[in-house]
Chain A
Amino acid sequence: MSEEEDNPLMDNLMFILVLVIAIVIVLAFVWSQMNGAARWSDFYVKQVATSLELSEPGDKIEIDVHQATKIANRNQQLDFQKIFSFNETENEICVALAPETKTCYNYFNDIKVSSHVIISGSFKDTGKNTLALEISSKTPEVK
């Protein structure tokens, strides 16, 4: 019997290779699920809606949206100002972290988002991207 035929590593090389490929595929799938646009859109739409439900006219809100911008960038959604959109009539917020798809949610508080802008690297001096919101009343204030 030759030395090559006795080598157990060579005998099992294919098994090891298949196992490594399978593990890589599983890890890639888990990573894609963890960082998927759908999951993070759902998170951010509810996070921002909750902030709006707690707000009052005159409030200014800043939310860390760094992860959202990273995912949008990866998905070729390069205009960050289009990530968050607000429908004043239906009290609805939508988050689009991938082209041609958006996740929407309603908030009960009947306020108006008079301004929303994503500011690069401004969140509490951490260098993270911020969503800055200004809240106003839908009806003019009576003085």
Chain B
Amino acid sequence: MKNKKGVIGTQATVFWFLFLVFILVVGLAAGTYIFFGSQYDYRQIDADLINSHIKECLTENNISLNNETFKQEFYSTCRLHQDVVEKNFFVLVELDGKRLYEAGKGDRTQCALSDKNEEYPKCQNTTIIKEGKTIFIETGSNQKSRTRLE
């Protein structure tokens, strides 16, 4: 009989080798899945766009800054879809520091803390002066894409 000593030879390392390959495959697969599995975050872009849209609308149109009629004029003149705004966005309009209109999910506290909590909406705010009055506009978006079966 030949080679009595060290019969196992290099095959003894097979378990370590398979273990290392397993770690490599699982690690790379998990990293790839985490990177590509999450959605593109368009919430800040959405918040910026709706803010700019409202700012432009309030500046260029003569919307009555009156608590009772503002809501109706706001949606029709600014060409905003009310259901979409109330479901996916946050809109706050203040006139000289007093709330003129507020809609949607969220509030100013959530906007202020959006960097700390991923579940809070991403927000944007702007201030315009019209006819001597200060209009503060804060908008936010927490919309994510939805996958459905047809």
Q: A108-B89, A109-B53 are in contact. Are A46 and B42 (CB under 8 A)?
A: yes
Give every chain B residue within 8 A of A30 (Cβ-Cβ): 28, 32
Instruction: Decide if A18 touches B21 in the complex (CB within 8 Å).
Output: yes
Q: Is the interface of B mostly helix, strand, loop or mixed?
A: helix
In residues 1-46 of chain A, which contact B (Cβ within 8 Å)?
A: 1, 5, 11-12, 14-15, 18-19, 22, 25-26, 29-30, 33-34, 36, 38-39, 41-43, 45-46
Given contacts A22-B25, A107-B84, A110-B81, whether A46 and B145 have CB atoms under 8 Å apart is: yes
Query: Which residues on A sit within 8 Å (CB–CB) of B24?
Result: 22, 26
Q: Does A103 contact B (CB under 8 A)?
A: yes
A-side contacts of B149, CB under 8 Å: 100-101
Which residue of chain B is the closest to A82 with respect to CB atoms? B150
* Cβ–Cβ < 8 Å partners of A91 in chain B: 81, 83-84
Q: Place the interface of chain A in its size category.
A: 35 or more
Q: How far is the CB of B42 from chain A (nearest CB, A)?
A: 4
Tell me the complex Cα distance, A114–B10, Å: 71
Contact call B146/A105, Cβ cutoff below 8 A: yes
Confirm or deny: B133 has a beta carbon within 8 angstroms of a beta carbon on chain A.
no
Contact A109 B79 (CB under 8 A): yes
Q: How far is the CB of B86 from chain A (nearest CB, A)?
A: 10
Known: A22-B21, A22-B24. A109 touches B147 (CB 8 A): no
Shortest CB-to-CB span from B78 to chain A, Å, is 9
| Nearest 4 pairs of A and B residues by beta carbon | A33-B36, A91-B81, A110-B81, A106-B84
